Each structure stands twice: as structure tokens, then as C-alpha cells.
Structure 1
Amino acid sequence: MTPILQFRDVSVTYRGAQETSPGTAAVCGVSLSLGEGETLGLAGESGCGKTTLAMSVLRLLPSSARIDGEVLLDGQDVREMTFGQLRAVRWASASVVFQGAMHALNPVRTIGEQIAEPIKLHGRANGDLRMRVAELLAQVELPAERADAYPHELSGGQKQRVMIAMALACEPRLVIADEPTTALDVVVQAQILDLMGRLVAERGIALLMISHDLSVLSVSCERLAVMYQGQVVEHGPSGQVMTEPQHAHSQALASAFPTVGDPRFRLTEGAPSGPALLSAEAVSVDFTSRSGQTVRAVRGVDLAVGENEIVALVGQSGSGKTTLARTMLGLQQPTGGAVRFDGVPLPTGSAGLREYRKQVQLVLQDPTGALNPRHTVYEAVAEGLRIHGIADDERGRVTAALEAAELRPAEKFFGRLPQELSGGQRQRVVIAGALVLEPRVLIADEPVASLDATVRGEILALLLRLRVERDLSTLVITHDLGLAWNIADRVAVMYQGDLVEVGPVEQVLLDPKHDYTKALLAAVPSVERRVA
């Protein structure tokens, strides 16, 4: 039987700005195949060529890309297809679940309109189109009434399900899923992976899944291919590649997403318990919905971060952890209870809060969104100093902050814009912007969620080093239990606004007491939890 997808000695080169320049080789001599009902995971860190290879299947690469070799879809080389032929196979023979559903959906069109679009384009609107949309929503376990919702009214997991429904709309034989679980919490991630595995089993779809997380691919795919610098350096059964990787890069990827309970990935011995530096005492936060109903996002939470301590606040999206963090920063007023810093309640006036925020700084989740694209690195880091009127030795302070964030030599980065930096470098700039004020506490909101495997480890090691060198306390907000196991001294688990469990990492993650903590741990991907 002819495979649905074949790469035969495929190379992809991006032409340089000058016609005479040699260009950049993104993919080098890759040969892989994928048949009906098969699942193949394509792993590697950012820039390794995995997305370039996958996007070559439907010729979705920019005009500067040259594809050599053969990319065969149902035996036909897509490089030789006319635009009309390409248009006929896109969505119908092969479709893509794009990375970042929050950006891939049109914000001003309803979910139903967007799912119906490929059906209309390919003339598949036989019968009641609205009923067909409802069927597709049901396949991805969303109620039919969600068809009238706009993207901003859906959670991250729901938006990802909508993207999958769009990909299935014209019943393709091949689905390409590009980082389909990035930035999703472990519970939603498990649901999405289970859903995709079920669809493959029921419909015989060939699935090509791209990720930098080997643990996610090992759950979803029968085979794994690991890419490094444009080449496939390892290819084999997923369990074998995950547990017995042969190539050094495969080994690095496998170790970047640690197994909770594995002592090899415990990077800290735990800080001695000290007095509370930042604490929430019986904090509650209420919001009023559009219908006028009161929604309690945080319910009487008691949480403390001690001196020189790292606390991980974990829980799935919507559990209230970011609302609690905003309240501890003074960005949100509590409905009840109080926040204290060094034993003193947070000030209420703007002048007092400004002084407080010199001591407690925020590191945002998305470094790209956190940085002004028109500001240089120097301006981004110096901004806090200027806001607080600190004019003494600005250049020296900025230099010290960048070097503390491991951007060396600092002067090399002064004039660069965010788009000239890698994802890891951008996150380091955000951290430097927080460090320049010499705070005593960092609140880091999902600091590595959007970073690839290698950079993730570097940022976590940086946070640990800052704890030692600067006596810095850190509250890390995350849905990643592996991260908590890596670097935290204590773990606090939130569920529906309540703090349901808190204690030392080993106690909470190895001997959980609350059913929700047990459910979070059960949802973490592992080789044993295969769904396909």
C-alpha cells in the first residue's frame, strides 16, 4: 500500500537577501514515510527544521524557500502541483492544526463560521451546514451552541479543539499538528492528546505531530523522529527513543522534561524554612460577570513565600493562580483578606505601591508580548529605572542586570530589538528588566511555557542561580509539575479558587493527599500512558 505521505531525500533552503548569497539550509536530506492510521512524532528544539519540513507538505513555506527531493502526498509530488491542484488538496487531503490556537483563529468571526469555511471552499456543504458544524464540534467534545461563540469567549483548550474541528471538516487523510498542546495545562493537554489518539483510531487518519516535548510525542505517536540542525538524527518506536535515546540531542530532549519523582532532575535540595517575606492571608477575590453575577476567583487563600525560597503555584487554567499572583503584586485589590510584605500590609496609595513594586517584580509568560518591538534591549531594561526615577549609574545598572540574566557581554545586546533575539534571549531580557530594580521577590508567570527544551533548562538554572547569588525569593506560577519538581522547595495546588494542598515538593508530588493533586499527576504524559 502506498504511504499517504513520503519525504524522499528532502532538503529545504531559504534564499538569502542577495541573489548571489548561498542561502540557509533548514532541512537536509530527510527521508520519512507515514501510512494510513499511523502516527509519527517530529521532535526537536526551535530552529531544527521540523516545522519547515511539515509545512513543505502543503507548500505553505515562504517564496524564498526552495524544496529539493520529493514530497509525495498520496503518491503525487506536491512540488509539481499547480496552484489549483494545491488548493484542491489543502484541507481536503491534508490539513494543519496550527501552533497557537489563540492567534490562528479570526477574532471577529464566530467559531461556527470558521469551521464552515473550508467546507464551503471545497463544495462539501451538502445538506444543513450548521448541522455539519455541530457534528464536528461534537467530535471534538464541544457543545453545538459554541458555534455562536467568538474565540475570546473560549478557553485555550476549547480553541485548540476548534482548530482540530476545522482540520477534520473536509475529512482529510493526513493531519499535521504543529505544537498542538503548547501552553496548555496538563489536564487539557491530556484531553487533547486523548482526543487526537481516538480520532486516529476511529477514522484511520495519518497523524504527523510536531513538538519539542518528547514526553508529549511518546504519548501520542507510535514512532518518533528527532531532528537536529535540519537532519533526522534518530528515528524509531516512541518508547525506545524516549527511554533509550541513542543520539546526544535525543538524550538532551528526553531529560529536558523530567519525570516527577526522578532524583536526577531534582535541581535543589530545598531552602531552609525562614520567615514569610510575601504572604497572602485569607485572600478572596470576586469578579462581576457580564450577566451581573458575582464570581469568586480566589477563596480565602493562605500562602507564604519565605526568604530565599522558591514556591511553585500549580493548577490548571482557570484555577485562580494568576488572579492570586496579581493580587500579591498589588495589581488586583482583594475582596477579603490581606497581602503582607515583610509583615506589613500592602499600601493602598499609588506612591506606596510604586515603592513596593521595586521589591516585588513580575516576569511575564510571553516574552514576545512583554517587550515593546520598537524598544531596544537597553531601553526595555532601563524602563523600570526611569519609571522609579533612579538616574544614578543607569548604564552600569542595566549592564549588571543583563549580565545577571546571562546576556554577556551586555553591550552586545544594548542596541538590539526583540525580533533580533531568540525566544530564550527575550525571556532573559524580561528577567533582566525585573532584576534591574534589585527586588527581593520575583513572581514568574509560566516563565518557560513557550520555550524549547534546551532554553527551558537554562532559564530554570538561571532562577536557581539568582536565588543563591541574590537571596532572591520566587513564586513560580505553572501548570508544569515537572518544573515544580525541578526547582521548587514547596508546592501549592489551586483548584477552582481554593488552595487544596501545600507542602514540601517531595510530600505533595510523591504522596499527594487531595484528589485533584492526584488527577494532575495522573495527567502528566508518560511512555506508559500511550493512547495511539
Structure 2
Amino acid sequence: MNPILRMDGVSVTYRGSARPRQAVTDANLTLEAGATLGLAGESGCGKTSLALAVLRLLPRSAEVDGTILLDGRDIERLTWGGLRAVRWASASVVFQGAMHALNPVRTIADQIAEPIRLHSSERLSAAVLRARVVELLEQVEIPGRRRDAYPHELSGGQRQRVMIAMALACEPRLIIADEPTTALDVVVQAQVLSLLRQLVAERGIALLMISHDLSVLAASCRRLAVMYRGRLVEEGPARRLASSPEHEHTRALATAFPTIGDTGSRYPGAGEPAGETGSARRALLSAEGVSVVFEDRYRNRVPAVRGVDLEVTGDEILALVGQSGSGKTTLARTLLGLRRPDAGVVYYDGRPLPTSGRRLRDFRGNVQLVLQDPTGALNPRHTVYEAVAEGLRVHGGAADEATRVREALEAAELRPAEEFTGRFPHELSGGQRQRVVIAGALVLRPRVLVADEPVASLDATVRGEILALLLRLRRERGVSSLVITHDLGLAWNIADRVAVMRAGGIVESGPVERVLLEPEHEYTTELLAAVPSFERSVS
């Protein structure tokens, strides 16, 4: 019996105006029916190029050598009609960014029905299509009544499940899942991974999952393959690769993500404020009884934040953790003065937050936001210098603008600054773009950074570099940080205190060691139980 997927000596080379770049070199992989293979590696290692080559989804600048057999058919020899037939029906892809992959102006029912309609050998009635869509939604644990919802009306986890439903629509034998849980909170991540395992078991389909997170792959796949600089450097049973890797890069991936409770996963300086200690530290930014209420499209009042008390003190890192939709980002926007609370008061340095005038401008210079997606936060037509200088100009300019920009870039570890000032965002790596966003905040010399999921989409090495940078800014500049995250491992890495948010309220808060090792609230216990983990004996 032929394997569903076989790759022999596959190489991918990108040809452009500059010299050719080889993304994949001589890759060999085999995937049988009902098998699960995790493809691990950092950004730029070639794993997505290799996976997209399976369905000839690479751009025209890509040249593919070697042999790729899908269900025994040579992909490179298929006509356009033959290729169209195998896409969706033989193999389908679950892409990473569900919000970008889904059409925002079409209902999810329309989008799930489209591949069924296009690939069906007979004309299906609207009633039959509707029934099939409802069936698929319920298979991925979304109530059928939500079929007329638009993507923005669903949570991140629900949108990702819609992508899985679309991938299943034509009953393929192979699903390629490209970072399917990146940026999802731990509970939803666990649900999506469980769903994929269940579908493999029930349908006998093959699963090729791509991720930079070895713990996610180890929790979902029987076998792992690790890529490094375009080459497959190690392959074997997931348990062995995760616990006793042989290749140096596999060991680096295995140790990159924290084990909560492991003191070695706490970064140097975490939990050790350099300035005042204990109760003597004064609150810089705080909320007292803050509530925020939204109206949905049916004019129903929906509480987003409920009576929250929270404070960020001088010289500390506070992690605000919780699932998507818990109210974390809404609370952060309220603390930043971007939305007025419907009840309660926000204070900065002991005084109520100003609502207009010079005091509000001064406040916004002292409390700066670091956004989650650096690609969306940076204007693609602005150089790095312009991106960083923009904040200074908005706040009235500075006579020493060039000096301030250089200092901010170097504080964000973009050195020497002169090498970066003339570049555009597309010329930078993901980690460099995130540093530019941080530099844009630092140029105003703030006292508090509010960082909204600052490492959610970054691979292991870059994630560690950004977290170490936040600690260094606290140590050397006394900059406090409120880090908003669904990642409990991040809180364990660098935070002094953690506050756990659920359904708009803070259910538990305290020192990181106490909250994460001896949780008092059942919701905190639930979050901790959902974190992927594996035994490892990495030296």
C-alpha cells in the first residue's frame, strides 16, 4: 500500500533579483494513512516551504527539485486540472492566521460550502449544502446555529476551528496544519490539538503539523522531524526527540520553552526588582473598580471588564494572563486611556487619568503600548528611523531627535543603529521588527510599557531575546511592564507578579511562584493543566 505522502530528495530554491536562495535541501519524508508527523523548526528554516510544495502552493519564484508523491501521483507531473482535483479532495491546508485566511465579508457557512460546491461531481441543493456545513461545524464543536456568523464575530479559537472544518469539507486523506495554534490561548490550543487527534483517529487521515513549538508537536504527533537551515537534521518518535534529542538544534528547541516550576526556566533577574522592594514600591498605573461594557450588533450590553482592581508598581513586571475574550486587551486599552471606563477610576502616579490637554499627552508619553503584531504596527512605507521618530514628532518633537532615535534603537538591541535606520520593515526579521516597535515606545523614555502579546508569533530563539530585553529595560532603565499574554510560560520566565483574568474579572493575583505553583482558583488550575508539556532529560 502506497503512503499518502512521499518526498524523495526535495529541494526548494527561490530565484529573484538577488542571488538564488535555497530554502530546502534534499528532504526525504514519508507519511502513511493515519500517521501524524510534526515538522519542527524556527522561522526561516524551510518547513513551510517544504509543506506548501506538496500542493504546489509556492510562488512562481520557487523552483522545486526531487519527487513528491501524493497518493502515488507525482505532483509536478499533474496538469492544472489534475492539481485542482487533488487540492481539498486529496490534501488540504489549515493556515496559521485564520483571521487573514477567512474572508471578513462572507459568512462562515458560505466559506465552508465553497470547496464542497466547487469539488462536488454533482450539483448540490442549498438545503444539502447547508446540512453539510452544519455537520462540519458540529464536528469541530461549533454550534450549527453559528453558521451565519462572520469571522469577526467568532473568537480566535472558533475561527481556527472554522479553518479545520473547511479543510475537512472534501474529506481529504491528508491535512497539512501550518502553526494551527500560534497565538491561541492554552485552553483553546489544547482543544484544537485534541480535535485534530480525534479526527485522525476517527477518519484515518494523515496529519502533517508544522510548528516552532516542540511541546505542541510532541503533544499531538507520534513522530517528529526537525529542520535546521533547510535540512532535516533529526527524525524519530516524538517522545524520544522531545525527551532525549540527539541533534544540537533539537536540544535547543526542547529547552527553549519553559517548564513551569523549573527554576532553570526563570530568566536571570526575574523576580528581583533593582529598586524599591516589597510594599514600599509605589503604584505607577492602577485601576480601581474599573468596568467596561460593550454593545453588540443587536444592542445587547455585554460586560467586558467587571470591577477590576489592578496596579503596576515601579520597577516590576506584571503578567496579566487569561484566555482570549477574558477582557485582558480591553482592560489594557482602558489603562492606556484609549477607552473611558463605564465605572471605576484609572490612576497614573497617584492621580486620576487625565482626559484631555497637556496632562493626557504627558501621560501617553510615560505609558507606551507595544503591539502584538509588529508587521501590522509598522507602516511598510516608512523607514525604521521614521517609525521610531514618529512618537517624538506626535508629542511635539525634540531638538535632539536623531540622538533620541539612535539611543532608542540601541536600547532595543538594534546595534549599531546606523545599520537599521534606513531599512524598511520587509527588510527585517520578525524579531527585528518587534524591536523596532519597542524602540518606538522607548524613544519617549516611558516609565511603563504595556506589551500586548509581545512574543505570541515569534519562534523560540527570538521569543527569548525579546523577553530578556524587557528584563534588561527594567534592570537598566527602571521601566515597568504590564505584559498581556495567554502564555503562562512567559509569566514564569520573567514576571514578578501575575494576575489571572476570567470573564472580565481578576480571579487570582500574587507572586508568580505562589500563583503558578500553588494556585488557589480552579480556573488557574485549569489553565496550568492545559499547558503542553513533556518529560525531558536534556543536558
TM-score strictly above 0.5: yes
Alpha-carbon shift at residue 458 of structure 1 (Å): 0.4
Moved more, 348-357 or 211-220: 348-357
Q: Which AA in structure 2 matches 1:292?
A: R
Q: Does 1:408 align with 2:409?
A: no
**1:417 alignment counterpart:** 424
**1:44 alignment counterpart:** 41
Alpha-carbon shift at residue 351 of structure 1 (Å): 2.6
SS at 2:219 equivalent: helix
Provide the C-alpha distance between the structure 1 equivalents of 2:342 and 2:35, rounded to a whole number of angstroms. 53
Alpha-carbon shift at residue 289 of structure 1 (Å): 2.5
Q: Does 1:484 align with 2:491?
A: yes
Q: Does 1:121 align with 2:118?
A: yes
Provide the C-alpha distance between the structure 1 equivalents of 2:323 and 2:510, rounded to a whole number of angstroms. 18
**2:138 alignment counterpart:** 138
**2:93 alignment counterpart:** 96
Q: Which AA in structure 2 matches 1:69?
A: G
Contact 1:276/1:305 (<8 A) preserved: yes
Provide the C-alpha distance between the structure 2 equivalents of 1:341 and 1:105, rounded to a whole number of angstroms. 40
Q: Does 1:260 align with 2:260?
A: yes
Q: Does 1:251 align with 2:251?
A: yes
Q: Does 1:77 align with 2:84?
A: no
Contact 1:270/1:488 (<8 A) preserved: no
Alpha-carbon shift at residue 384 of structure 1 (Å): 0.7
Alpha-carbon shift at residue 288 of structure 1 (Å): 2.3
Counterpart mapping for 1:328-343 below 5 A: 328-343=335-350
Provide the C-alpha distance between the structure 1 equivalents of 2:525 and 2:223, rounded to a whole number of angstroms. 29
Provide the C-alpha distance between the structure 1 equivalents of 2:369 and 2:10, rounded to a whole number of angstroms. 44
Q: Which AA in structure 2 matches 1:509?
A: L
Moved more, 401-410 or 251-260: 251-260
SS at 2:218 equivalent: helix
**1:317 alignment counterpart:** 324
Q: Does 1:242 align with 2:249?
A: no
Provide the C-alpha distance between the structure 2 equivalents of 1:277 and 1:252, rounded to a whole number of angstroms. 38
Contact 1:116/1:129 (<8 A) preserved: yes
SS at 2:372 equivalent: coil
Q: Which AA in structure 2 matches 1:87?
A: R
Q: Which AA in structure 2 matches 1:483?
A: L
How many pairs are equivalent?
525
**2:50 alignment counterpart:** 53
Deviation digits for residues 352-400 of structure 1 (CA, Å, limit 9, x no counterpart): 2111011110000100111111111101100111111132210000000
Q: Does 1:379 align with 2:386?
A: yes
Contact 1:490/1:502 (<8 A) preserved: yes
**1:202 alignment counterpart:** 202
Provide the C-alpha distance between the structure 2 equivalents of 1:350 and 1:177, rounded to a whole number of angstroms. 50
Alpha-carbon shift at residue 126 of structure 1 (Å): 5.1
**2:162 alignment counterpart:** 162
**2:272 alignment counterpart:** 270
Q: Which AA in structure 1 matches 2:430?
A: G
Provide the C-alpha distance between the structure 2 equivalents of 1:199 and 1:490, rounded to a whole number of angstroms. 39
Provide the C-alpha distance between the structure 1 equivalents of 2:467 and 2:247, rounded to a whole number of angstroms. 24
Provide the C-alpha distance between the structure 2 equivalents of 1:269 and 1:240, rounded to a whole number of angstroms. 34
Alpha-carbon shift at residue 527 of structure 1 (Å): 2.9
> Of residues 377, 383, 391 in structure 2, which corresponds to 1:370?
377
Contact 2:391/2:440 (<8 A) preserved: yes
TM-score (norm 2): 0.96
Q: Does 1:395 align with 2:429?
A: no
Q: Does 1:177 align with 2:158?
A: no
Which runs of no fewer than 5 residues in structure 1 stay unpaired?
Answer: none
Alpha-carbon shift at residue 16 of structure 1 (Å): 2.9
Q: Which AA in structure 1 matches 2:223?
A: R
Q: Does 1:451 align with 2:458?
A: yes
SS at 2:413 equivalent: coil
Alpha-carbon shift at residue 140 of structure 1 (Å): 0.6
Deviation digits for residues 474-505 of structure 1 (CA, Å, limit 9, x no counterpart): 00000000000000000000000110000000
**1:233 alignment counterpart:** 233
Alpha-carbon shift at residue 292 of structure 1 (Å): 2.4
Alpha-carbon shift at residue 350 of structure 1 (Å): 3.6
SS at 1:403 equivalent: helix
Cα RMSD for the two superposed structures: 1.2
> Of residues 494, 512, 526 in structure 1, which corresponds to 2:519?
512
Q: Which AA in structure 2 matches 1:31?
A: N
Q: Which AA in structure 1 matches 2:195?
A: L
**1:283 alignment counterpart:** 290
Which runs of no fewer than 5 residues in structure 2 stay unpaired?
Answer: none
Provide the C-alpha distance between the structure 1 equivalents of 2:312 and 2:239, rounded to a whole number of angstroms. 39
Provide the C-alpha distance between the structure 2 equivalents of 1:292 and 1:497, rounded to a whole number of angstroms. 19
